[in-house]
């Protein structure tokens, strides 16, 4: 394994293999042996309590290309590339109040207050808030941004009522 190689799990082969990860002008790339790059996005997987482990690298169709089991174990250049991709795509906004959720054709339009300010986003109608291990709920919008409700009990009564309507 060379200095730029990374050990990841290939979901198609179910085995570890060495690949190179690079940051280019248009984002994170998995680099083939011939130097060609495939653009990927980095998504944190559970557990949320271990944010440096289990990072899914996904192509433009959201198909998993590889799974990085431990970001800290990557060589420096690859580690920095993955950390940069996660910083740009992995910003989680904490919902403090839900002002409204309107059902539209194929989507739900959310208007919320977060610790970072007022936000509007859309989710697919067949996407539901996901319960997190250890409490809280996660909502992913159509652009891939992540919103989190840390504890339902911290929301006001109306926000809890609105959110419960969209729980599976």
**Spatial CA neighbour of 163 closest among 106, 111, 93:** 111
**Spatial CA neighbour of 151 closest among 111, 94, 110:** 94
Claim to verify: residue 157 and residue 97 sit in the same structural domain: yes
Q: Give the pLDDT means over successive 10-residue stretches in the chain (168 positions).
A: 52 70 85 81 76 85 87 87 77 90 94 92 92 81 86 93 87
Per-residue pLDDT tens over the stretch 80-104: 888 888 876 656 788 999 999 999 8
Per-residue pLDDT tens over the stretch 122-131: 999 988 998 8
Claim to verify: residue 43 and residue 118 sit in the same structural domain: no
Claim to verify: residue 64 and residue 100 sit in the same structural domain: no
Q: What's the whole-model pTM score?
A: 0.52
Q: What's the CA gap between 143 and 62, in Å, rounded? A: 12
Claim to verify: residue 68 and residue 128 sit in the same structural domain: no
Decide: 105 and 47 in contact? Cβ < 8 Å: no
**In terms of residue numbers, what domain contains 106?**
92-164
Domain finish residue from 33, 66, 89: 89
Q: What total of structural domains would you count in the chain?
A: 2
């Amino acid at each position: 394994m060379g200095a730029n190689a990374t050990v990841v799990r290939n979901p198609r082969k179910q085995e570890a293999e060495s690949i190179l990860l690079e940051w280019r002008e248009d984002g994170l790339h998995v680099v083939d042996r011939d130097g060609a790059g495939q653009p990927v996005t980095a998504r944190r997987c559970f557990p949320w309590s271990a944010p440096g482990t289990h990072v899914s690298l996904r192509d433009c169709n959201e198909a998993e290309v590889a799974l990085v089991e431990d970001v800290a174990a990557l060589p420096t250049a690859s580690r920095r590339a993955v950390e940069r991709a996660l910083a740009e795509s992995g910003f989680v906004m904490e919902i403090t109040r839900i002002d409204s959720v309107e059902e539209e054709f194929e989507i739900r339009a959310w208007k919320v207050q977060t610790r970072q300010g007022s936000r509007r986003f859309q989710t697919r109608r067949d996407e539901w808030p996901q319960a997190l291990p250890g409490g809280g709920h996660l909502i992913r919008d159509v652009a891939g941004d992540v919103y989190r409700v840390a504890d339902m009990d911290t929301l006001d009564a109306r926000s809890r009522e609105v959110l419960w309507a969209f729980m599976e």
